A and B are shown apart, each in its own frame.
Chain A
Amino acid sequence: MSSDFGERDAADAAVAARWVEGDDDALRLAYDQFGALVLTYCTRSLRDRATALDCVQETFLSAWRSRERFDPKRGAFGAWLLGIARFRVLDAHRKIARTPLPVDDTALETVADHQDSAEDHLADRLLIARAVESLKPRARSVVELAFYSDLTHAEIAAQLDLPLGTVKSDLRRGLETMRHELGGRPILDSGTSLSTAPANGGHGA
């Protein structure tokens, strides 16, 4: 483990390794490490504490049932868990609205696209925040300055009084950490959605 990675990265990797090995304690370890991430995701999305707690329970239960499906080569454990939580959240939204799956309702389409995009943005936002928090303080301040400014590498180096090479390597490692935490998913620009254009017909049974 590189010295630029924080303790949380090491703990995340340890949980993923135990999970892959089929360790009996893996679920508890995963819950300790990622419970807050999943609960924050569910709470922000559902805006109801009780429903969010149900959703977290369902997410960890689903994850455990499908535990052999986690493939560390395809992404980080947190991103995999939020992928499962996303479906549980959408199921919960559907239950709350008491709407059975509509067969053809174009009015819902816009709302649904918005919702879909919001869920993806929320997941990205939380995973990025978690990845940034896991960086060591120096790397974190470099990455945060790059995030929210138009500064070049040299300007960041000057502002933080760091050697240019340090800034470049901090940014590269920070980027690698975030790419890993996001599980290789494309990052959504504001106003775009992972979901593709609405279907061109053929709805319903």
Chain B
Amino acid sequence: MPDDPTTNELDELRRLGGAASVEPVEWERPPPELWARIEKAVFADDETVAAPDETRTASDDAVPPPPTSLAAVRDRRRSGWWLASAAAAVFVVAAGAMVWLRSDPAVEVVATVDLEQLGDSGEGTAELIDDDGTLELRLATDGIENADGFAEVWLINSDLTQLVSLGPVRDDETYVLPSGLDPAAFPVVDVSHEPLDGNPEHSGDSVLRGQLTF
């Protein structure tokens, strides 16, 4: 009986069996020093993540003691407060725009992804929008460092060998895809740091990345 659910389960299991190896897997055992390396890298990462606030306040004092209360944190960060507020406002506006987009019947959210941080700072969320037949990437980013250059948006194929530039990061956060481009063939959204050297190719210095799922 072809429609018997248990027969379908057997078929699915056999597909799994086909993807599995007949030989048992010999698992590689992590060497003892590997955890120490990971712990050290994470610790160093936490330090650099904590550092920007200190540099932004430009305090001439010695390193202040760790804050013991929320009020203390607020005092220490006050001079940078408006920056954070402005960034938060941008995110609220962006989120509002996305909600508004969803309420427009001609606009369809095709795919969405939170971008992973590859550099030392920044975050972002991308949505692929079908606006009445025109495909657009809506990309909200925050906190990307752009010293000596600019940030550029790319769509890349899933093995990172072919890519299409959507141009420098723009304030309107909207990037129209080249007509005829199949987004499913370029599902990786990548934001790179580009030096001002006139070279149109990807610098290889990606700061945010995520893969759209369709």
- Are B42 and A61 in contact, CB atoms less than 8 angstroms apart? yes
A21 to chain B, nearest CB (A): 18
Fill in one digit per residue for A28-40: 1 if any B CB lies within 8 Å of its CB, else 0: 1001000111011
Bound-state Cα–Cα, A115 to B157, Å: 13
Give the A-B pair count, Cβ closer than 8 A: 184
Q: Is residue B66 contacting chain A, with contact meaning CB distance below 8 A?
A: no
Set of chain A residues within 8 Å of B90, measured between Cβ atoms: none
Fill in one digit per residue for B5-47: 1 if any A CB lies within 8 Å of its CB, else 0: 0100110111111111110111111110011011101100100
Set of chain B residues within 8 Å of A187, measured between Cβ atoms: 12, 15-16, 19
Q: Is residue A62 contacting chain B, with contact meaning CB distance below 8 A?
A: yes
- Are B45 and A61 in contact, CB atoms less than 8 angstroms apart? yes
Q: Is residue A9 contacting chain B, with contact meaning CB distance below 8 A?
A: no
- Are B13 and A171 in contact, CB atoms less than 8 angstroms apart? yes
The dominant DSSP class at the A interface is helix
Set of chain B residues within 8 Å of A199, measured between Cβ atoms: 157, 162, 164, 181-182, 185-186
Q: Is residue B176 contacting chain A, with contact meaning CB distance below 8 A?
A: no
Q: Please judge, given known A-B contacts A66-B116, A200-B182, whether A152 and B10 are in contact too, CB under 8 Å.
A: yes
Q: Please judge, given known A-B contacts A56-B34, A100-B201, A175-B12, whether A61 and B41 are in contact too, CB under 8 Å.
A: yes
- Are B20 and A125 in contact, CB atoms less than 8 angstroms apart? yes
Bound-state Cα–Cα, A154 to B189, Å: 49
- Are A115 and B159 in contact, CB atoms less than 8 angstroms apart? yes
Q: Is residue B193 contacting chain A, with contact meaning CB distance below 8 A?
A: no
Bound-state Cα–Cα, A199 to B159, Å: 13
Bound-state Cα–Cα, A189 to B15, Å: 7
Q: Please judge, given known A-B contacts A56-B34, A129-B25, A205-B201, whether A101 and B160 are in contact too, CB under 8 Å.
A: yes
Q: Is residue B112 contacting chain A, with contact meaning CB distance below 8 A?
A: no
- Are A69 and B116 in contact, CB atoms less than 8 angstroms apart? yes
A47 to chain B, nearest CB (A): 12
Q: Which residue of A lies closest to B29 (CB)?
A: A36
Q: Is residue A51 contacting chain B, with contact meaning CB distance below 8 A?
A: no
- Are A147 and B20 in contact, CB atoms less than 8 angstroms apart? yes
A166 to chain B, nearest CB (A): 13
Fill in one digit per residue for A49-64: 1 if any B CB lies within 8 Å of its CB, else 0: 0001100110011101
- Are B13 and A65 in contact, CB atoms less than 8 angstroms apart? no
B91 to chain A, nearest CB (A): 15
- Are A101 and B25 in contact, CB atoms less than 8 angstroms apart? no
Q: Which residue of A lies closest to B26 (CB)?
A: A40
Q: Which residue of B lies closest to A59 (CB)?
A: B38
Q: Please tell me which one of the listed residues A56, A112, A153 contacts residue B161 in the complex, with CB atoms under 8 A apart.
A: A112
Bound-state Cα–Cα, A129 to B204, Å: 35
B160 to chain A, nearest CB (A): 5
Bound-state Cα–Cα, A35 to B31, Å: 10
Query: For chain B residues 35-62, which have a beta carbon within 8 Å of chain A?
Result: 35, 37-39, 41-42, 45
- Are B162 and A35 in contact, CB atoms less than 8 angstroms apart? no
Bound-state Cα–Cα, A105 to B163, Å: 11
Query: For chain A residues 99-142, which have a beta carbon within 8 Å of chain B?
Result: 100-105, 108-109, 112-113, 115-116, 119, 121, 124-126, 128-130, 132
- 7 nearest CB pairs, A to B: A147-B17, A205-B165, A116-B159, A112-B161, A129-B25, A202-B178, A205-B200
Besides A65-B45, A148-B22, 10 other A-B contacts (C-beta < 8 A): A27-B38, A31-B35, A40-B28, A56-B34, A66-B117, A100-B202, A108-B161, A146-B13, A147-B17, A199-B162
A selection of 15 A-B contacts at a CB cut-off of 8 Å is: A36-B28, A39-B28, A39-B34, A60-B42, A84-B116, A104-B162, A130-B25, A146-B10, A147-B17, A153-B6, A153-B10, A171-B10, A199-B181, A200-B181, A200-B185
